[in-house]
C-alpha cells in the first residue's frame, strides 16, 4: 500500500494510534520517502517523526529546482542527492543518517537485509531489558510543581515506583519535568511529550504512568500523542485493590470504586484504545465496562451502592453486638505496609495474610486479644481490628467505597497508629495518616502512636523519633520486641477510653 501526504512533518506523519502494534524489537514495516528543496540531510523534526512511527527507513530526496517545465508553470526538478536514515539499537543515539549519496547507489541498497539485521539487534537489546512474564513495561512520568518540596517530590516518586511494582509492572525508565503548574490539556509541555513518545518506543513500554491524577481530557490527549496507554496514580492504586480483593465485600467495594473512577472517562477512550489487552488499569470487575452504555454503568453503580449500604448496616449490627458484650475495641491504623497485619498475627496468634507489599490486605479483620494487668492480675479481653492501609492523598473513590473499613476506625474505642520507622518518609506518613483521621466524620477515640521496625533503624533515627514523639512506643512486631509493654499500654488506653466524660 502506498500513502501520499503533502504538508509539514506533523501534518503528514501517520497518527500513532493507526500504526501497527509492535514491540521494542520490531520496526513498523513502513518506509518513507520525503522530498526537500533545501540542501542538507533530513531535519530533526523528520528524524523524530521517523523514530515515533518506528519506520523501517526514511529516504530524503534533495531536489535541484532545475528541470523541465510542467503544465501550469514551475518545474519538477531533478534529484540531486539522497540521504538514508534509520533507527539504530543504541541506548543514547536513536538514529543514523548516511552521507549524501547518488540516487542510483541508493537503489542498490538491500532494504530487506537492512531491516532484518536491525530487528535482530533490537531483539538482542530488548532481551537485555526483559521483564517478568505477564508484567507491564512501565515508563513513569513525574511532574515536579512549585507546590512540592524536593523531599516530598522524591518521596512520592519512590512511592509511585512501589505502587507500580505492587501492581505488576517493571519500571524501565523515569522521565521528569519541572513546571510551575500542570498544563491544562496535557499536564506536561509539548516537547516533553515528544521525548516521552520516543522513550516509550525505544524501550518498548506498554504503559505510561503519571505521578499525579489526570483529567479525562488529559488522558485522551496524551494517549493520542504518545500512542500507548496512559494511566494515573489513582488507576494504579485501583488496580492493586482489584488484585488484592479476595472477599465478596472487598470485590464489591473495588468494583464500585472502579466504576466511579471510569464513568467520566468513558467518552472517547474506548474508541481510541482498546483496554482488553490486560495490564495495569484493566483488571478487576470494571475491566469490560468501558464498552458499556453510560446508563448501564450508572444502573450497576446504583445496585452496588445498595449492596455496600447493606454491608455497612450488617457491620453496624455486628459492632452493636460487640458493644452490648462490653468488649472494648481497638482499631489498627497506619500507612500502607506499616506492619499492621504482622502485629495482629503476633498479638493474637492469627494467620491473617501479611506481606511486604502496598495494600496487602483490604478487608477489616477482627481478632480477640486477652490482656492481663500485671498489677491486679485482672484479665481484659479486647477486640483488635486490622484496617486497610492509608496512603498520601487517598483517592476519593476509595474513601467513599471503603466506608465500612473507615467506620471501624470511627466506631473503635481507641486507635493504635502503627508507623514504619524504617521508611525514609516515615514522618510524612505519620502526618498523612493524622490528616486522614482529622477528616473523619466522627472524631476517633484516643490514639496510641507505635513506631514499628526499630530493628531496621540506626541510633540517629531512633533518637530523632524519640525527640519528635516522646510519648510514642517503639517495637518490632517481627522480632517481638516491646510487645509486653505494648499490651500494658493497650490496657491503659482502653481504660482511659472507657472513662466517662
Say if CB 86 and CB 118 are below 8 A apart.
yes
pLDDT, position 267: 58
Same domain, 339 and 397: yes
* DSSP sequence for 94-130: -EEEPPPB-HHHHHT--HHHHHHHHHHHHHHHHHHT-
Same domain, 191 and 104: no
Q: What's the pLDDT tens digit per position in 303-349? A: 888 887 787 677 667 667 656 667 888 999 999 889 998 999 999 98
Residue 149 lies inside a defined structural domain of this protein: yes
Residue 268 lies inside a defined structural domain of this protein: no
Identify the CA nearest to 271 among candidates 290, 286, 285, 255: 290
Same domain, 479 and 336: yes
Number of compact structural domains in the chain: 3
Same domain, 351 and 485: yes
Last residue of a domain, one of 219, 245, 271: 245
Residue 38 lies inside a defined structural domain of this protein: yes
Distance separating alpha carbons of residues 499 and 421, to the nearest angstrom: 31
Q: How far is CA 66 from CA 33, 34, 38, 62, 100, in A?
A: 20, 18, 13, 12, 19
pLDDT, position 230: 94
Residue 273 lies inside a defined structural domain of this protein: no
Say if CB 177 and CB 188 are below 8 A apart.
yes
The runs of H, that is alpha helices, within 28-167 are 44-53, 103-107, 111-128, 150-167
In angstroms, the first-to-last Cα distance of the chain is 83
Same domain, 55 and 145: no
pLDDT < 50 stretches in the chain:
68-73, 268-277, 286-287, 289-290, 500-501
Q: How far is CA 457 from CA 151, 355, 420, 431, 464, in A?
A: 19, 20, 10, 20, 11
CATH code of 166's domain? 3.40.50.11060
Domain that holds residue 165: 136-245
Q: What's the pLDDT tens digit per position in 247-278? A: 777 788 888 888 888 877 765 444 444 444 45
Same domain, 140 and 118: no
Last residue of a domain, one of 192, 216, 245: 245
Say if CB 196 and CB 174 are below 8 A apart.
no
Residue 405 lies inside a defined structural domain of this protein: yes
pLDDT, position 463: 94
Residue 282 lies inside a defined structural domain of this protein: no
Total number of residues shown for the chain: 501
Last residue of a domain, one of 217, 245, 273: 245
Same domain, 79 and 198: no
Amino acid at each position: 500500500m502506498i500513502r501520499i501526504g503533502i504538508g509539514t512533518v506533523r501534518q503528514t506523519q501517520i497518527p500513532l494510534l493507526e500504526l501497527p502494534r509492535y514491540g521494542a524489537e520490531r520496526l513498523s514495516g513502513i518506509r518513507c520517502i520525503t522530498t526537500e528543496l533545501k540542501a542538507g540531510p533530513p531535519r530533526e523534526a523528520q528524524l523524530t517523526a521517523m523514530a515515533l512511527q518506528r519506520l523501517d527507513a526514511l529516504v530524503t530526496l534533495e531536489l535541484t529546482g532545475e528541470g523541465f517545465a510542467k503544465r501550469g508553470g514551475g518545474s519538477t526538478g531533478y534529484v540531486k542527492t539522497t540521504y538514508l536514515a534509520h533507527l539504530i539499537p543504541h541506548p543514547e543515539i536513536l538514529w543514523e543518517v548516511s552521507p549524501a549519496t547518488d540516487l542510483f547507489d541508493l537503489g542498490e541498497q538491500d532494504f530487506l537485509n537492512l531491516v532484518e539485521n536491525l530487528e535482530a539487534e533490537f531483539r538482542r537489546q530488548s532481551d537485555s531489558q526483559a521483564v517478568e512474564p505477564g508484567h507491564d513495561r512501565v515508563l513513569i512520568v513525574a511532574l515536579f510543581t512549585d507546590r512540592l518540596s524536593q523531599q516530598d517530590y522524591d518521596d512520592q516518586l519512590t512511592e509511585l515506583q512501589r505502587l507500580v511494582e505492587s501492581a505488576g509492572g517493571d519500571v524501565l525508565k523515569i522521565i521528569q519535568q519541572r513546571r510551575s503548574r500542570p498544563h491544562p490539556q496535557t499536564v506536561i509541555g509539548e516537547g516533553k511529550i515528544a521525548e516521552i513518545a520516543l522513550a516509550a518506543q525505544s524501550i518498548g513500554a506498554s504503559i505510561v504512568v503519571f505521578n499525579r491524577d489526570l483529567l479525562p481530557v488529559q488522558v485522551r490527549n496524551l494517549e493520542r500523542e504518545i500512542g500507548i496507554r496512559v494511566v494515573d496514580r489513582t488507576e494504579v492504586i485501583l488496580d492493586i485493590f482489584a488484585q488484592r480483593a479476595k472477599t465478596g465485600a472487598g470485590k464489591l467495594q473495588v468494583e464500585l470504586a472502579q466504576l466511579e473512577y471510569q464513568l467520566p472517562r468513558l467518552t472517547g477512550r474506548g474508541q481510541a484504545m482498546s483496554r482488553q489487552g490486560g495490564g495495569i488499569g484493566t483488571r478487576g470487575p470494571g475491566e469490560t465496562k468501558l464498552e458499556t452504555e453510560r446508563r448501564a454503568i450508572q444502573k450497576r453503580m446504583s445496585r452496588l451502592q445498595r449492596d455496600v449500604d447493606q454491608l455497612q448496616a450488617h457491620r453496624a449490627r455486628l459492632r452493636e453486638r460487640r458493644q452490648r458484650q462490653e468488649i472494648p475495641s481497638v482499631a489498627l491504623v497506619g500507612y500502607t505496609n506499616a506492619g499492621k497485619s504482622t502485629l495482629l498475627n503476633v498479638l493474637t496468634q492469627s494467620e491473617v495474610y501479611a506481606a511486604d507489599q502496598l495494600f496487602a490486605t483490604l478487608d477489616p479483620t477482627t481478632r480477640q486479644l486477652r490482656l492481663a494487668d500485671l498489677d491486679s492480675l485482672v484479665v481484659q479481653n479486647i477486640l483488635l481490628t486490622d484496617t486497610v492501609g492509608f496512603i498520601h492523598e487517598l483517592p476519593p473513590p476509595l474513601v467513599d467505597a471503603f466506608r465500612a473499613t473507615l467506620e471501624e476506625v470511627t466506631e473503635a474505642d481507641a486507635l493504635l497508629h502503627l508507623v514504619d520507622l524504617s521508611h525514609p518518609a516515615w514522618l510524612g506518613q505519620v502526618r498523612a495518616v493524622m490528616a486522614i483521621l482529622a477528616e473523619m466524620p466522627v472524631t476517633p477515640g484516643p490514639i496510641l502512636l507505635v513506631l514499628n521496625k526499630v530493628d531496621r533503624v540506626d541510633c540517629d533515627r531512633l533518637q530523632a523519633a524519640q525527640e519528635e514523639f516522646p510519648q510514642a512506643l517503639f517495637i518490632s512486631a517481627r522480632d517481638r520486641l516491646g510487645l509486653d509493654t505494648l499490651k500494658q499500654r493497650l490496657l491503659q488506653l482502653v481504660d482511659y477510653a472507657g472513662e466517662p466524660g
